């Protein structure tokens, strides 16, 4: 949820881009994934330290791109 909640998809339409194509490129962007992961690092480190990132939760965070 966090990884998609930061940008309203309508911004792409507002600047004249095809929203579907722009979103596809955003989702495929290695740079974006790295920036998101870097931004979430303190939180994911904390959650890992206290034992929250286990099992299904860990897989969900990893699939979101926020956890390496």
**13-57 tens-digit pLDDT:** 999 999 999 989 988 889 988 988 898 899 999 999 999 999 998
C-alpha distances in angstroms, 10 versus 5, 15, 19, 45? 12, 9, 7, 32
| Integer Cα distance of 62 and 15 in angstroms | 31
| Integer Cα distance of 60 and 12 in angstroms | 27
Q: What pTM did the predictor assign?
A: 0.64
What does the angle CA 18 – CA 22 – CA 28 come to, to the nearest 5 degrees?
155
Q: Is the dihedral of CA 28, 24, 31, 52 positive or negative?
A: negative
């Amino acid at each position: 949820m966090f990884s998609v909640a930061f940008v309203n998809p309508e911004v792409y339409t507002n600047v004249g881009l095809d929203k579907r194509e722009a979103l596809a490129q955003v989702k495929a962007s290695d740079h974006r994934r790295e920036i998101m992961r870097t931004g979430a690092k303190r939180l994911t480190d904390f959650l890992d330290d206290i034992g929250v990132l286990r099992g299904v939760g860990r897989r969900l965070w990893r699939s979101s791109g926020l956890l390496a």
